[in-house]
Structure 1
Amino acid sequence: MLLNFRVANHRSIREEQELQLHPAYDTDRPRGTDWAAVPVVGLFGANAAGKSNLVGALEYMASMVLNSHRDAEPGDGLTRSVFRLDAAASDEPSWYVVDLLLDGVRYTYGFSIDDERVLDEWLYSYPLGKKRKIFERPDGEVQPGDSQAKRELELVENITEPNVLFLTMAARSKQEDFRPVYDWFATGLRFAEGRTRMPLGVPTGPNRDAAALLALLRSADLGIEEYGIERQVMDEEALHRMFGGPLLQQELARLEASGPRELSRPWIGHRGRSGVVRMELHEESAGTRALLAQAPRFLAVLRQGGTFIVDEIDSSLHPLLTTQLIGLFQDPETNPRAAQLIFTSHDASLLGRADGEDILKRDQVWFVEKDRYGETRLIALSEFKPRTGENHERRYLGGSYGGVPFIDESFTKALAARGDEHGETA
């Protein structure tokens, strides 16, 4: 479970920004839960405010933890994206910190880097609430905690390049105290693929959430009554029906090399006058295909636990369906493993109410905006001391919280002038 994320000097983020997930209002906790962090966070703001950059910063941190030993060649330095609108930023470090709750134990892990190397790195745990140093790496020199086998960590340090994270090497060297945080980045933190559409003919395994997916499809009011997967032998005739042009030639070449193979092909059963009619995915709307691509990921996180990051959750899904997906994370019956959903959106309707309750609680909403110097700022709704039952959607659109685009009269005048110009030349 993610409790906190902090980042500085990453793309449009200049100064330290903090995404705090600790509950701010006990009365807003989902009923019947004592979760240490909120299950849902929505990030709202204008285009180019920096929402995706915040998501990208966490994704960059995860990539460093999992791949720094593969991506960084000895002596090649590090690839990072600093704030570009201040020349001094390129000479300053970028840093990333997470606070996590894993199996009842809190961990704090972070690192700072420049273009050449890891400047600082640290990992602490808090068993029984008391701070325990697992390691520190000030100025690149590893200092193990008292509970660590110093000789073993010295061996790990000897094979850790200056541009590689020590956590990565220690966890992969089977140092047990390092595994929980590494494993969270490896399997507990997930990122949705942007604007995914399920490609036709891609092999798919058995869907462990088939019943839940069918219930979601039915509730989405798409006229869907059934959903299933059938296995089809992909011989040359089947490939001709599915593909054309260069793609067909590629598939035929593969078929010739490997012989006939089976593909799992999803189908959708729609309600019709004479009963249920099966249709293939290419016959469905873009919205239905997007739902079929995205929903299994949501359901898998709910089943397994973890933190799911979705950039632009409203890019393909209808607001009512997005509302329903958010609700699954708010309910301990559908979210028994305290999974988390963090998403960005432009859809102000998600700040409203559904069935008489707030879709997002007061401590689950953050606004992202840029100041006059192009620096991203992160602001919690709770900083505005909102009252219970307050119309957050209306106040947001009215500019009370920031994070909305300001379009001055010059924009309207420019469009009008362009129209007059075309009118005169017509």
Structure 2
Amino acid sequence: MLLAFRAGNIHSFRDELDFSMEATAQAEEGVPREVRWHQKVGSTLKVLPAAGVFGANGSGKTNLLRAMTALREHVLFSFRSGDPAGGVHRQHFRLDPAADDRPTKFEIDLILDGVRYEYGVSMDSEKIIREWASHSPKGRPALLFERCYGSPITFPAGKRALGRAVERITRPNSLFLSAAAASGHPDLLPLFGWFERNLMLAEASSRPQRWAYTTQLLHDKETRDSVHALIRAADLGISNVRIQPLDPKVLDRIRRAVLILAGREDDADGFPEIDLTELGLVLSHRGVKEDVEFGVAEESLGTLVWLGIVGPVVAALQAGTVLLVDELESSLHPTLVERLVALFQDPDANLKGAQLVFSSHAATLLGSGSGSRPLGRDQIWLTEKRSDGSSCLYPLSDLSPRREESIAKRYLSGRYGATPIVSHEEFVEVARLMTTCGRE
């Protein structure tokens, strides 16, 4: 499970951000999972299964998710697909020229198979400046490696021979972790494998690939029933999904799209074009006398959005991975969004400790102050854009909201910040200008 993610000088975050999935004293009862983090009996951490990021448009919500994805892409592809003379591809903060010369930093803290891992890297546009990893199989952090530009890489005793062999093939602009995985380094393969399986980002631009992902899961007998059940549970009127025989060339494009989305292949040549109508999905709707089949082109946008999210959700719940979703509520009813979050919150539905990190404008997820909350007070994060264009991230728990507080109402009224500052007069003036232009 993901414990924490930190980054700096990435996208709209000029300064360092610190995001945590560890529960606090404000956690809702029964929501955090107790996760053992090393071999000592009784050594557990309380970890949250879901967290939502809220804020005004353009405040940095999406960029937090993209920062996580950027680290994943560096780990998976910097050695395998990087250009030896191409420098380091990074999306640093661009509104301040001084940020050009400052490094971009990433750190991640996670528990994998009962062992706590920490990994970090800093880079500029030319090279990797520092990179390190540690794990805690016996409770205390033990170094896996530490790399500083211009100096030999440090390895623990007994691991130096293999480490030096990997060091010789590691380029200045590629990650040692990536090169170590390509070389089959046994101590670092688990960490690399975590990045392969986790931090898939579901955003609008990837919807065609997610349709392909859902289609592939419908082809698989081990996941077909779960996907069917989640489609039916959404009350879209769909009683069944049938897949028509597909052309082998279409199947190949679907497989490649799924590999790219899952991080098993990079997109150097771009995503393969996937048209939803090519996927052969035929949806049956309940009729007065019998079910009636419809093509996907006849479905509503909300239905198509749901088809694109159910595949990644089923895969995350079955594998116990971290799923990132941008604008979770896009074209979906608030009740449906709440039920989706509840899947990750419910330990009976989420048996393997999958985690959902999402951005949203759906204030209904924040709770009214009476009854149970869709999200606990320590599961809510806020983004705000400063006057210089940079984003800042902070947890609602820092503001110490009371248990009975109507968080949704106070959020919308601007009590916690993270809401847009808009002027009615400016909108009226725009309307006047439009009217004047029309008359002319």
Q: TM-score, normalised by structure 2?
A: 0.84
Give the direction of change, closer, same or farther, for the CA distance of 1:410–1:40 in structure 2 (3 Å limit). Answer: same
1:186: Cα distance to partner?
A: 0.9
Tell me the residue number matched to 1:223: 237
Alpha-carbon spacing, 1:199–1:174, altered in 2? closer, same or farther (3 Å) = closer
Q: Is the 8 A contact 2:211 2:307 kept in 1?
A: no
Q: Residue deviations 1:87-112, cap 9 Å, x none?
A: 21111111111001101111110110
Paired position in structure 2 for 1:394:
409
Aligned pairs (5 A) from 1:304-343? 304-343=319-358
* Residues 311/279 of structure 1: CA separation in 2 closer, same or farther (3 Å cut): same
**CA distance in structure 2 between the aligned counterparts of 1:206 and 1:354, rounded to whole angstroms:** 43
* Structure 1 residues 6-405: aligned runs within 5 Å: 6-25=6-25, 28-30=28-30, 33-35=33-35, 36-194=46-204, 197=207, 205-206=219-220, 208-231=222-245, 265-352=280-367, 356-405=371-420
Alpha carbons of 1:114 and 1:202: their partners in 2 closer, same or farther (altered >3 Å)?
A: closer
User: Retained in 2: the 8 A contact 1:140–1:162?
Assistant: no
Residues 363-415 of structure 1: per-residue CA shift (max 9 Å, x gap):
11100111111111001010111122321110100101111111024423422
Aligned: 1:3 with 2:18:
no
Task: Report the secondary structure of 1:272's partner residue.
Answer: coil
Q: Measure, in 2, the Cα distance between the counterparts of 1:355 and 1:327.
A: 17
Q: Relative to structure 2, which stretch is displaced further, 67-76 or 80-89? A: 67-76
Based on CA coordinates, which of the two structures has the bigger radius of gyration?
1
Evaluate the alpha carbon distance shift between residue 109 and residue 15 of structure 1 in structure 2; reply closer, same or farther with a 3 A threshold.
Answer: same
Structure 2 residue identity aligned to 1:288: T
Amino acid at match of 2:176: F
Are the aligned partners of 1:231 and 1:264 in contact in 2 as well (CA < 8 Å)? Answer: no
**Deviation for aligned residue 1:360:** 0.8
* Unmatched runs of 5 consecutive residues or more in structure 1: 235-262
Q: Is the 8 A contact 2:65 2:201 kept in 1?
A: no
SS of equivalent to 1:226: strand
Alignment CA distance shift 1:202-1:50 (3 Å): closer
Displacement, 1:419? 4.6
Query: Once the 2 structures are TM-superposed, how far is the Cα of residue 208 of structure 1 from its aligned partner?
Result: 3.2
Find the residue that maps to 1:405 and give its secondary structure. Answer: coil
1:308 Cα deviation after fit: 0.4
Deviates more, 1:54-63 or 1:138-147: 138-147
**CA distance in structure 1 between the aligned counterparts of 2:400 and 2:71, rounded to whole angstroms:** 32
Residues in 2 aligned to 1:192 and 1:225: alpha-carbon distance in whole angstroms: 25
1:329, 1:341 within 8 Å by CA — same for their partners in 2?
A: yes
CA distance in structure 2 between the aligned counterparts of 1:32 and 1:68, rounded to whole angstroms: 35
Which stretch of the first structure deviates more once superposed, 369-378 or 412-421?
412-421
Q: Which amino acid aligns with 1:154?
A: R
Q: Hey, what's the Cα distance between the residues in 2 that align with 1:25 and 1:45?
A: 24
Matched residue of 2:316: which SS? helix
- What secondary structure sits across from 2:227 in the alignment? helix
Map Cα deviations across residues 19-42 of structure 1 (whole Å, 9 max, x no partner). Answer: 111001375143584243211010
Q: Where does structure 2 lack aligned partners over 5 or more consecutive residues?
A: 36-45, 249-277
* Percentage of pairs with the same residue: 37
Q: Which moved more, 1:401-410 or 1:28-37?
A: 28-37
Q: Distance in 2 between matches of 1:77 and 1:87?
A: 19
- Secondary structure at the residue paired with 2:116? strand
Cross-structure match for 1:247: none
Amino acid at match of 1:279: F
Structure 1 residue 353: deviation in Å? 5.8
TM-score (normalised: structure 1): 0.86
